[in-house]
């Protein structure tokens, strides 16, 4: 489970400012879907690859920015661009 803390810059107006400022977004993979995410950035830092994605908090619907460190790269049978994205999840 990942915990993400809101900052005033991320305030979406769906909660009171005081609650949003201190709210910890408890994220679990079972409540997140690829269809509800968007890749924001790919970058290198300290010789490592990182990916930033935007997701919705399943509890409060606030948009969150997550940073992921790439630890493994493997070949894939997926062709880009993803025209038939539904096939990936079948």
pLDDT by residue (tens digit) across 60-72?
A: 778 889 899 999 9
pLDDT by residue (tens digit) across 2-44?
A: 545 444 444 444 455 565 556 677 788 888 888 888 999 999 9
Has this prediction a pTM greater than 0.75?
A: no
Under 8 Å CB-to-CB from 51, ≥6 apart: which residues? Answer: 39, 41, 42, 67, 68, 70
Is 86 within the bounds of a domain?
no
Whether the per-residue pLDDT at 90 is higher than 60: the answer is no
What is the structure's pLDDT at 24? 77
Is 47 within the bounds of a domain?
yes
* Domain coverage including residue 8: 2-71
Under 8 Å CB-to-CB from 55, ≥6 apart: which residues? Answer: 27, 32, 36, 37, 63, 64, 66
Is 76 within the bounds of a domain?
no
Cα four-point dihedral sign 72, 73, 74, 77: positive
Phi-psi region of 46 (alpha: psi -120 to 50; beta: other; left: phi over 0): left
In angstroms, rounded to a whole number, what is the distance separating the alpha carbons of residues 3 and 26?
5
Number of domains in the chain: 1
What is the structure's pLDDT at 84? 60
Tokens of 65: 């920015």
């Amino acid at each position: 489970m990942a915990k993400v803390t809101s900052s005033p810059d991320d305030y979406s107006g769906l909660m009171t400012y005081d609650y949003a400022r201190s709210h910890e977004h408890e994220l679990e993979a079972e409540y997140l879907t690829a269809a509800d995410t968007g890749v924001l950035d790919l970058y290198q830092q300290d010789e490592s690859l990182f990916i930033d994605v935007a997701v919705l908090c399943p509890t409060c619907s606030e948009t969150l920015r997550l940073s992921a460190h790439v630890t493994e790269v493997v070949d894939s049978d997926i062709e880009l661009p993803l025209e038939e994205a539904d096939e990936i999840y079948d």
